Amino acid sequence: MAASVGAQRPRFRVKVAASQDEWEACLDVRMEVFVVEQGFSADDEVDQYDPISRNFLLVVESPSPPDTATSSLTPVEGGTTSKPVGTVRLTPSLGKVSRLAVLSDYRVYGFGRELMRAAMDYARTLQDDELTKVVRSREDGATVVPLKLHSQLQVIPWYQKLGFKPEGELFDEDGAPHQKMVCEVEVVSSA
């Protein structure tokens, strides 16, 4: 499915991967983007942070079965199938966002922004006790969760639009230049 600019955005959901199948769907998207498309090593894709992280999964909804002349199944009114098309990982104890990946045919829809928003909102509302390890108070009294990430160079401006700022010098990560970026996400009071 090659999406064109101006194409209607498909219905989607973002959720925290809660099952082994959902985690594997996140990994499938990561492998497709980072290993197949970008040429990074599959050996580096799963690391020590996966077991202690929250993986967000973005799925698009499509009719199930598809309403096509070639389908041997009768379409069911209102039936849908979820297709995994994007993921991002948040390691709460480190305040680190990583492994943002969206399948190429779906990048035109702004799903990367939706995934980042989900991870940032998760941090903002302290939905994980591990986030309390990185929470701090600013001089103005605001309580914040400092988030960090390692950006590939071509997407630094994109992360800046989300509020991230470059910090430090460029460095090599898995054979490609990266920039550390940071953003303070203000905690929303539950009161």
Q: How many CB atoms lie within 10 A of CB 101?
A: 24
**What gap in Å lies between CA 162 and CA 150, rounded to an integer?**
14
Question: Looking at the domain assignment, is residue 164 inside a domain?
Answer: yes
Query: Is the omega angle on the peptide bond into residue 65 within 30 degrees of 0, that is, cis?
Result: yes
Position 181 pLDDT exceeds 70: yes
Q: How many CB atoms lie within 10 A of CB 87?
A: 28
**What gap in Å lies between CA 186 and CA 126, rounded to an integer?**
10
Q: What pLDDT, on the 0 to 100 scale, is given for residue 115?
A: 98
Q: What pLDDT, on the 0 to 100 scale, is given for residue 83?
A: 93
Position 134 pLDDT exceeds 50: yes
Question: Looking at the domain assignment, is residue 5 inside a domain?
Answer: no
State the sign of the Cα–Cα–Cα–Cα dihedral 81, 125, 48, 146.
positive
Q: Which residue has the higher pLDDT, 66 or 166?
A: 166
Question: Looking at the domain assignment, is residue 2 inside a domain?
Answer: no
Question: Looking at the domain assignment, is residue 171 inside a domain?
Answer: yes
**What gap in Å lies between CA 147 and CA 149, rounded to an integer?**
7
Question: Looking at the domain assignment, is residue 69 inside a domain?
Answer: yes
Residues 125-147 as b/e (b if ≥16 CB within 10 A, e otherwise) read ebebebbeebeeeeeeeeebbeb
Question: Looking at the domain assignment, is residue 181 inside a domain?
Answer: yes
Instruction: State CA 66 to chain mean position distance.
Output: 27
For the residues 19-25, what does the mean pLDDT come to? Answer: 95
Q: What is the phi/psi pair of residue 26, to 5°? A: -60, -45
Question: Looking at the domain assignment, is residue 6 inside a domain?
Answer: no
CATH number at residue 116: 3.40.630.30
On whether the pTM is more than 0.75, the answer is yes
* Structural domain for 66, as ranges: 12-186
- Are the beta carbons of 144 and 184 closer than 8 angstroms? yes
Helices within 31-188 (DSSP H only): 111-124, 156-161
Question: Looking at the domain assignment, is residue 58 inside a domain?
Answer: yes
Q: Cite the beta strand spans of 103-173 per DSSP E.
A: 136-137, 143-152, 165-166, 171-173
Write the pLDDT tens digit of every residue in 108-131: 999 999 999 999 999 999 888 899
Please count the structural domains in the chain. Answer: 1
H/E element, 63: strand 54-63
